[in-house]
Each structure stands twice: as C-alpha cells, then as structure tokens.
Amino acid sequence: MLNVLTKQNSAANHFLAEIRDKDLQQDRMRFRRNLERLGEIFAYEISKTLTYVPAEIETPLGIAETSLLSEQPVLATVLRAGIPMHQGMLNVFDQADCAFIGAYRKTKKSGTFEIRKEYVSTVNLDNRTLILIDPMLATGKTVVLTCKELLDDFAIKSLIVVSAIASEEGITHVQAFLPQAQLWVGNIDSELTSKAYIVPGLGDAGDLAYGMKE
C-alpha cells in the first residue's frame, strides 16, 4: 500500500519545499529540523493506522475513558541521513524501541555500486510493528536489503517504510521485493541520475544534515 503525504495539502508541503530549496537547505539546523518535523507528521498519520485498546485514566477529579496504542512500534533507521526523521518520529512514538543500521554504497571500478551493510543494533522484532525510516528512497535497494535481512531474522508482524522523497523506481523496487510493506512517502520524483541521486530531489541528505563525507 502506498500513501503519499502531499496528496492532501498540509504544512508538510512547506517542510518538503524547504529541504529541497538549495539556499534554505544550507542552514543545517533548519534542514535537520524540517526532516524532524516531517518525521513528526508521518508518525501522527501512521498512528491513525495502528491498533488501540480501551484505557481508563485517573484524573484528579475522576476517570477519563480513552483509547491508547496497544503497543509502540519499533523505529529503525539507516545511518546517518535517517537520524533527524527518526528523532521526529520518536517525538511522537516517545516510548518506542529503536534499531539502527549502518549501510553505505560501495562504488565499484565500473562506476556502479553495491549496498554494504555493516552495523545492526536492534531489539527483538518478533511480533512487532517495524517502521523503517529512510529519508531518500532512491533505488530502494538499501531498504529492501535491510528489511529482507530483518524479516529473515525475526517474525515481524507488520512492516512500514517511510521516506520524505521517493523516486518512482525506488517505489517500484520496494513494492516488488517487499509486497507486505506499507509505504509512506512525502513526494514522488520521476528521475534518478546514473549515481542514483533523485531528481529534482534535494541532493545528499546526509551531507546536508551532517557535513560532506569523504
């Protein structure tokens, strides 16, 4: 299932516009904060799709009836670009367990690249809802590789993938290899460069948030 945040106009349009804007994105704090704000909006929207149980809250004056999440999802992030959106989602799912994955593109002599995954730190994901956060869904290969390994290792109950900007190719790849995933994206862009950057995209999200890597 594909959900596009900007299908309906909202404040999210502004945050997406600002992270794309080549002048505004030079303000690193604003860039990170906008990704964080998008994470908060995604989390709020996704929270409407989760399971709730009836609850009673004791106030100073009586008992208030409500419904609360039956469990918090697990938030998983691909380092390092995912960190600001991860924090935004954690602001909403504020008791969530977290998982962190270190993955990078290893460029070959031919100019093509493969995804290398080195570091995984996760809680037990058996019977949990896993939300994988990757702000830029370019080829979709990192997300598929990461999720497939986690799905092999754990009996994950449901899988949600969240990206601020996704390419059409990335969405097709995820839908083909992770048909069970619910996909939440901010905007969809049509092009990928030969180096797998999204066009118009925004550039390199990790570099803009944390500085140019070597």
Ligand X SMILES: O=c1cc[nH]c(=O)[nH]1
Q: Are 158 and 126 in contact (CB under 8 A)?
A: no
Select 144 or 205, whichever has its Cβ closest to ligand X: 205
Select 138 or 156, whichever has its Cβ closest to ligand X: 138
Q: Distance (Å, rounded) from C-alpha 129 to C-alpha 96?
A: 10
Q: Are 39 and 88 in contact (CB under 8 A)?
A: yes
Select 38 or 138, whichever has its Cβ closest to ligand X: 138
Residue type (1 letter), 26? Q
- Please report which helix (H) or strand (E) contains residue 170, including its range: helix 168-177
Q: Shortest approach of ligand X to residue 69 CB, angstroms? A: 31
Chain contacts with ligand X (rule: CB under 6 A): 81, 136, 138, 197-198, 201, 204-206
48: Cβ contacts below 8 Å, ≥ 6 apart: none
Select 40 or 189, whichever has its Cβ closest to ligand X: 189
Q: Shortest approach of ligand X to residue 168 CB, angstroms? A: 13
Question: Could you tell me where the beta strands, DSSP code E, fall in the chain?
Answer: 2-4, 52-58, 63-69, 74-79, 97-107, 113-121, 129-133, 136-137, 158-167, 182-189, 191-192, 198-199
Select 154 or 210, whichever has its Cβ closest to ligand X: 210
For tokens 């994988």, the residue is: 132
Q: Shortest approach of ligand X to residue 66 CB, angstroms? A: 40
Q: Shortest approach of ligand X to residue 38 CB, angstroms? A: 14
Q: Shortest approach of ligand X to residue 92 CB, angstroms? A: 23
